[in-house]
Structure 1
C-alpha cells in the first residue's frame, strides 16, 4: 500500500528533543504518518499507514 503525505504536512518533533536539529519529526494525516530526519528535511521519509503507525508506536514503547 502506498501512503501519501498530507498536501502541506505540519512537521513536529518530540517535546523530549533538545534545541538541536538531531531528531526525527513526524507529520500526522488521517491516513497515517510520515517520519523524516530533522537534519535532512528534504531527504527520504518513511510513510506509515494508520495501522502500521499504531504498530510502530506499540513496538517503540515496548
Structure 2
C-alpha cells in the first residue's frame, strides 16, 4: 500500500504539529501528525466536504463528530485526538480553502 501524501494547514507551526489530510481512491483520511501511522479517520469526500463546510459556517458536522474536552483536546470522528491549538490551525486552513480539493470526488 503506498504511503499517503499528507497535507497540513499553512497555519500550523513549524514541524509536523498539526492535523494532516490525505486522499486516495478509497476516500479521505485525517490523522494527528504526531501519530501519522496510528489513529487515522477514513471518510468519504462528501463527509469531509460536510466537515469543512461546518467549520466554515460554525454549524455542527452532520457526518463526523467533533468533540472538544475541558482539558484542551479535540476528538474527531471517534478516531483521531488532537489539541485545541492544532485543531484551530487546521480550521484556519479550512476557512482559507486549503483543503477544499479533498471534498471533491477523486
TM range (shorter): 0.7 to 0.9
Question: Could you say which residue in structure 1 is the equivalent of 2:23?
Answer: 28
User: What's the CA shift for 1:31?
Assistant: 4.7
Structure 1 runs (4+) greater than 3 angstroms displaced: none
Question: Could you say which residue in structure 1 is the equivalent of 2:8?
Answer: 13
Gaps of 5+ in 2: 58-106
Question: Could you say which residue in structure 2 is the equivalent of 1:58?
Answer: 53
**Are 2:40 and 1:45 equivalent residues in the alignment?**
yes
Provide the TM-score with structure 1 as the length reference: 0.74
Provide the TM-score with structure 2 as the length reference: 0.47
Looking at CA atoms only, which structure, 1 or 2, has the larger radius of gyration?
A: 2
Tell me which protein shows more helix as a share of its residues. Answer: 2
Gaps of 5+ in 1: 1-5
User: What's the CA shift for 1:12?
Assistant: 1.4
Secondary structure of 1:60 counterpart? helix
